[in-house]
Structure 1
Amino acid sequence: GRAMDLVSASATPQALGLLLLFFLVALHLAASSSGAEKLRSKLPSPPFKLPVIGHLHLVGSLPHVSLRDLARKHGPDVMLLRLGAVPTLVVSSPRAAKAVLRTHDHLFASRPHSAVGDILSNGSTNVALAPYGDYWRRTKKLVTTHLLAARKVRSNRAAREQEVRLVLARLRAAAADTARTAVDVSELFIYFANDVVCQAVLGRLPREAGRNQMFRELLEIHCKLLGGFNLPDYFPILARLDMVTAKAVKLKRRWDDVLDDLIDKHASKMANDDEEEDFIDVLLSVQQEYSLTRDNIKAILVDMFEAGTDTTYIALDYAMAELMRKPQAMAKLQAEVRGCATKGKEMVTEDDLGSMSYLKAAMREAMRLHPSGPLMIPHLSVADCGVEGHTIPSGTRVIINVWAIGRDAASWKDAEEFVPERFMEEAMDATCDLQGNDFRFLPFGSGRRMCPGISFAAVTFEIILANLVYHFNWELPEGSSSVDMTEEFGFDVHRKERLLLVPRVPHHL
């Protein structure tokens, strides 16, 4: 029953019936005596494998938790699972992660094929899903240089601070309400993160009514389709028959309509050189140099919207939720921010952020406990190589459980607790930063496929959280005694319930 529940989540009744037709094929593949299969047979693996679905029945509704628990029994460093027809190596320790992401990085830097990802990213031609090679190197260089480099992030400062002002105006109105109405802080963070990304990517176009809202809606559907354990990824033979791929084709058409319109508008305005360039302008201006088709440009744009919105929103939401659960941490953060910024300021600016070490520690601690992509995007081995005494054959899908690594009691004191102090100067983990050099802590990954948006995400996180705790004291709604931390799994993991809080303007402000 549990296995069928999992599989049926993204399957039509016809697809489920077809599983039986492929029964003999799957058995034949499982019994293959190839050299790769012989190597895989020597890897640690749970014994409870079923015909056709393999170990899928052992993966629960929160796969990062299920895989952590399985690795404790059958790993612990590496563990092979048969997820449908796909052999998948699960990496659950800092040592094994270092072997994959640094020692043998060049052999694990590619991506496995994803039927849904292929549709949504125009043949996997975005930065996140493109196979390792010349095209990926070109697009990563383009995105890093023209959107995510520290210099470019600094140049977007005015737009970011304007978005902060809009949030503060909305919160002041809510705080003035004598009914003590709660604000949906989760929604506020989603809107803010998305609007900041839209400004960086689409800046020169006036904000049309409802456009950013439409992006949020498309991204929500996008993440749901990419997230979870989609049947075509684990039974590739079903790709043409699955409802998820049909929905992906429909969503792709919607993206095309929106992005073609935006690209056309930018192309028609290119003659006006007086305006500041945004990212679409850049893509059009270097299209020939980087050998990009229009479909490539659209794939890269969707990638930037998705990555830039979700990583920041999820980190902010979890940080605020943890601070509400730990009033002493909230008080410490507020004391720091209010001490670093001049009393009575209209807003905390990015000039003020440099001295806020507890703010940065709180961000890292939120990302340690709650990485937005707890299993990262899967890697693919392109040659046989050794990891922790085992030979991993070419063609093996690799999942790195950064959530489990970040909560490993062998690596972290009070591993399940929100303790920003661990990252403060002179603390044991003070040197542990976001750059992927400490393999106990990988919120942005490491190696060649590391997320290039660290500077963008960090300053976006810091500027809004600093202002929220500077200008307001925060309370739970009347009748609420705690924050529900229940998770929901998808392309990124987020809290299931919205964070509702009451903002209060402190007397000294």
Structure 2
Amino acid sequence: MSIVYPGEASAAVIIPSLLVTFLIISITLSKLIKNTRAAASKLPPLPPSPSPSWPLVGNLPAIIIHKKPMFRWVHKLMKDMNTDICLIRLPGGANLVPVLDPAIAREMLRKQDATFADRSISFGSHAVSGGYVTTAAVPYNDQWRKMRKVFTSEIVSPARHVWLQEKRDEEADNLVFYVHSRCMAGKSVDLRVATRHYCGNVMRKIMFGRRYMLMSCEPTADGGPGKMEVKHVEAVFTALKYLYWSCLSDFFPCLWGWNVDGKEKIINEANETIRGYQDPIIDARIQEWRNNGGKTEMDDLLDVFITVKDEQGKPLLTPHEIKSQATEIMMASIDNPSNAVEWAMAELINRPDLMAKATEEIDRVVGKDSRLVQESDIGRLNYVKACAREAFRLHPLAPFNAPHVATQDTTVGGYFIPKGSHALLSRYGLGRNPKVWPDPLRFDPERHLENDGGVDEVALVEKELRFISFSTGRRGCVATVLGTCMTTMLLARLLQCFAWTPVGGNKTVDLSEAEDGLSLATPLMALPKTRLARHLYPVV
């Protein structure tokens, strides 16, 4: 009788079993790979993508090597690739999908609006939204639904718009007073300061009921901004600049909080500046409402936010939500109108023939030397609005819309878009697409006056997404009426009340873009000259 040791018996049994198991697994994996490839072969292709794409980091090295703002690298890339949509691979398997084609943009924000309703997560958006408790920067979730409902029912209703008109009128008059004061002193006007000052004033007035950040602040002699108001608006524009895809930590979330490239510090400081001015006002107002015998009537939007109730009659919004939403409101409202009007004025100063058409329209609609243009005139100021539309088309402040993140795999424009892709509608590329706009780099308001489908009134919102003035869709701008009023009134008052010429005896102004953004490289300086009867200029 032979003796079989335990180890030998195990080997005799285990080795054949392992071989059988290995064969089964190999056959299963082979079939799985074959089926996966077969299924993949039936999917539409991915959008064109640049190469090389490196493991783990994707196309990020090319962005870094370019040493210029990412949006300039993206648009140069798409021009070289001759494509209106592409897929840029980022670390962690994320994809950016920039879009320059209006048809694809409409498919994303109309036919598949729900699919692209989510938002990107970034250090900047997390900071300014207070940890995603606001509206615009918040992921597609219940918090967004809650805040969106508050906005549509309580903040941007037609009744609220009418209720706040007096405050907007006050700031339109103050704008004229400010420019007229400098004109009478023989001084030039920094139109970047004037436009941002007006927009900041309007939003502070309708949000907080005041033009200046502190009640103790005395109005400046010429109606211009004080130091606090300048810092407030500058911080808003800084925060906007670094909102998405600006920090290294946006590409590598594991680096959040380390301030590796210094951008996180810039964002935090801008956010702290904005909140440092606004939060004390909000705290004091909340306390005023809570005190017996304190505030009992609503005067501005802050009162609305504080007093809105839930189904149990309790305050619907926390102080943190109100403060964060106030910050987002400032960021969402000051930038667009002020940038568009500064660019429109620069273009019109260089084209006196176009400026003459705009002022002639205002004189015809309003009457020369009878009164100042009012919001009720906006519907008939089609040429003025055409100038504003052309500025939005040719000179957007932001190169891209806020990212729209795909919540599921989908197909757009014949291309497969994986779940989690960040769709970026290019404001810059849509408005300058030569397939859509003849002679796209020429400032030509006339192109917006062609009767389209029998619509006589020019609107600032571009419904066909051939360019983007105010974003559309369920994640779009909810305050387009306010944005239209601010933009049109700002431009119309500057044109109606003053004739403008370049400073220093120059015949034209420099229209160069900033290297790190899309604003004018140098703030627009111009000399105003009165063109109305003296009694029409406000005395503040």
The equivalences for 1:61-80 within 5 A come to 61-74=68-81, 76-80=83-87
C-alpha separation between the residues in 2 aligned to 1:505 and 1:335?
15
Encode CA deviations 1:20-44: one digit per residue, 9 max, x unaligned: xxxxxxxxxxxxxx99999898431
The alpha-carbon distance between structure 1 residues 175 and 188, as it changes in their structure 2 partners (threshold 3 A), is same
Specify the SS of the correspondent of 1:226.
Answer: coil
In structure 1, the residue matched to 2:308 is 286
Given candidates 528, 531, 535, the residue that maps to 1:503 is 528
In structure 1, the residue matched to 2:9 is none
Given candidates 444, 462, 475, the residue that maps to 1:419 is 444
Is the 8 Å Cα contact of residues 365 and 420 (structure 1) preserved in structure 2? Answer: yes
The equivalences for 1:384-403 within 5 A come to 384-403=409-428
Is the 8 Å Cα contact of residues 45 and 415 (structure 2) preserved in structure 1? Answer: no
The alpha-carbon distance between structure 1 residues 192 and 237, as it changes in their structure 2 partners (threshold 3 A), is same
- Greater shift in the superposed pair: 347-356 or 425-434: 425-434
1:121 paired with 2:147, answer no
C-alpha separation between the residues in 2 aligned to 1:387 and 1:41?
11
The alpha-carbon distance between structure 1 residues 480 and 50, as it changes in their structure 2 partners (threshold 3 A), is farther
Is the 8 Å Cα contact of residues 245 and 251 (structure 2) preserved in structure 1? Answer: no
Is the 8 Å Cα contact of residues 98 and 426 (structure 2) preserved in structure 1? Answer: yes
Is the 8 Å Cα contact of residues 193 and 308 (structure 1) preserved in structure 2? Answer: yes
The alpha-carbon distance between structure 1 residues 66 and 480, as it changes in their structure 2 partners (threshold 3 A), is farther
Specify the SS of the correspondent of 1:90.
Answer: strand
Give how far 1:481 is off. Answer: 3.3
Give the share of equivalent positions with the same residue, in percent: 27
Specify the SS of the correspondent of 2:74.
Answer: helix
In structure 2, the residue matched to 1:23 is none
Question: How many aligned residue pairs are there?
Answer: 473
Amino acid paired to 2:164: N
The equivalences for 1:334-345 within 5 A come to 334-345=359-370
Is the 8 Å Cα contact of residues 348 and 354 (structure 2) preserved in structure 1? Answer: yes
Specify the SS of the correspondent of 2:433.
Answer: coil
Amino acid paired to 1:280: L
1:471 paired with 2:497, answer yes
The equivalences for 1:356-435 within 5 A come to 356-426=381-451, 433-435=459-461
C-alpha separation between the residues in 1 aligned to 2:340 and 2:236?
17
C-alpha separation between the residues in 2 aligned to 1:305 and 1:489?
25
Is the 8 Å Cα contact of residues 55 and 83 (structure 1) preserved in structure 2? Answer: no
Give how far 1:132 is off. Answer: 0.8
1:135 paired with 2:150, answer no
Given candidates 44, 49, 65, the residue that maps to 1:45 is 49
In structure 1, the residue matched to 2:108 is 100
C-alpha separation between the residues in 1 aligned to 2:380 and 2:308?
38
- Greater shift in the superposed pair: 411-420 or 235-244: 235-244
Given candidates 314, 335, 351, the residue that maps to 2:339 is 314
The equivalences for 1:159-238 within 5 A come to 159-177=167-185, 180-203=186-209, 208=215, 209=217, 210=226, 211-226=228-243, 229-238=246-255
Structure-2-length-normalised TM-score: 0.80
Specify the SS of the correspondent of 1:502.
Answer: strand
C-alpha separation between the residues in 2 aligned to 1:493 and 1:81?
22
Amino acid paired to 1:197: M
In structure 1, the residue matched to 2:263 is 244
Give how far 1:265 is off. Answer: 1.6
**Structure 2 stretches lacking a partner, 5+ long:** 1-35, 218-225, 535-540
C-alpha separation between the residues in 1 aligned to 2:455 and 2:445?
10
1:486 paired with 2:512, answer yes
The alpha-carbon distance between structure 1 residues 385 and 334, as it changes in their structure 2 partners (threshold 3 A), is same
Give how far 1:152 is off. Answer: 2.0
Structure-1-length-normalised TM-score: 0.84
Specify the SS of the correspondent of 1:375.
Answer: coil
Given candidates 260, 263, 275, the residue that maps to 2:282 is 263
Give how far 1:120 is off. Answer: 2.4
1:445 paired with 2:453, answer no
- Greater shift in the superposed pair: 260-269 or 312-321: 260-269
In structure 2, the residue matched to 1:20 is none
Specify the SS of the correspondent of 2:263.
Answer: helix
C-alpha separation between the residues in 1 aligned to 2:141 and 2:100?
27
**Structure 1 stretches lacking a partner, 5+ long:** 1-33
C-alpha separation between the residues in 1 aligned to 2:454 and 2:83?
23
Give how far 1:499 is off. Answer: 0.5
RMSD: 3.0
C-alpha separation between the residues in 2 aligned to 1:337 and 1:302?
35
Is the 8 Å Cα contact of residues 63 and 73 (structure 2) preserved in structure 1? Answer: no
The alpha-carbon distance between structure 1 residues 507 and 478, as it changes in their structure 2 partners (threshold 3 A), is farther
- Greater shift in the superposed pair: 236-245 or 334-343: 236-245
The alpha-carbon distance between structure 1 residues 83 and 192, as it changes in their structure 2 partners (threshold 3 A), is same
C-alpha separation between the residues in 2 aligned to 1:233 and 1:37?
30
Structure showing greater Rg: 2
